[in-house]
Amino acid sequence: MLPLFPLETVLLPHCELRLHIFEDRYKEMIGECLERRQEFGVVQARGGGLMRIGCTASIEEVLRKYEDGRMDIVTVGRRRFALEEVTGGRSFLRGKAQFFGDVDEARPDRELVMEALAAWLDLVKAKDAEAEPPDLDHPQLSFLLADISQDLHFRQRLLEMQSERERLEFVRDHLRRQLEKEHIRAAMEKVIRSNGHGRHLYSKPE
């Protein structure tokens, strides 16, 4: 049975997730995973329940251990799974997981790869973020590019898709929309700053 960690986030394969472990049940769970060198499943908690599709996390590093048992850890997304059953009986949830990968298909064409990368680069620049471009030959590049967006609906849908070509198209289109929103946000902030002394956006004609 796979130990489960419900979170209000979506972990993507090959992407990093840092966690502060403070609840007793998860101290126990993470302690066991460290001892057994075992992965645990991250599933999105939504509406009082759990999403069916999740991603396992491997513990890459323990950054800090506190005297009261709390921990700061670095994890990385690994395998996607579908929950077939969730059980109790322990302080934390466990689940029967069916692991899955992508369907066999031809590699996405280079044009699509470059379009998705361009959308990612534009968004990184608009956010004034610091990030190194991922390996363009990575077989699941889509997940690496998608990690810049924290839109949970987008991330969950991406996690469920089994075609890298379809994911890259989805990522490209989503990041382009995010870029438009980022430009609107920046423009609104500029307007707010320019009207910070009582001036109004629109003035009445004389």
Interatomic CA distance for residues 77 and 14, integer angstroms: 5
pLDDT of residue 205: 47
pLDDT grade for 195, boundaries at 50, 70 and 90:
low
pLDDT grade for 196, boundaries at 50, 70 and 90:
low
pLDDT per residue as tens digits for the range 152-184: 999 999 999 999 999 999 999 999 999 999 888
Token digits for 167?
């994911």
Of 164, 176, 181, 165, residue with least CA distance to 118:
176
pLDDT per residue as tens digits for the range 71-125: 999 999 999 999 999 998 899 999 999 999 999 889 999 999 999 999 999 999 9
Name the residue type at position 75: T
Q: What percent of the chain has pLDDT over 70?
A: 94
pLDDT of residue 189: 79
pLDDT grade for 204, boundaries at 50, 70 and 90:
very low
The larger pLDDT score, comparing residue 197 to residue 138, is at 138
Max avg pLDDT among 125-129, 134-138, 182-186: 134-138
Domains in the chain, start-ordered, CATH in brackets? 2-100 (2.30.130.40), 110-194 (no CATH)
* pLDDT exceeds 70 at position 25: yes
Alpha-carbon 23 to chain mean position = 22
* pLDDT exceeds 50 at position 200: no
Mean pLDDT over 142-147 rounds to 98
* pLDDT exceeds 80 at position 197: no
> Between vectors from CA 161 to CA 74 and to CA 75, what angle results, nearest 5°?
5
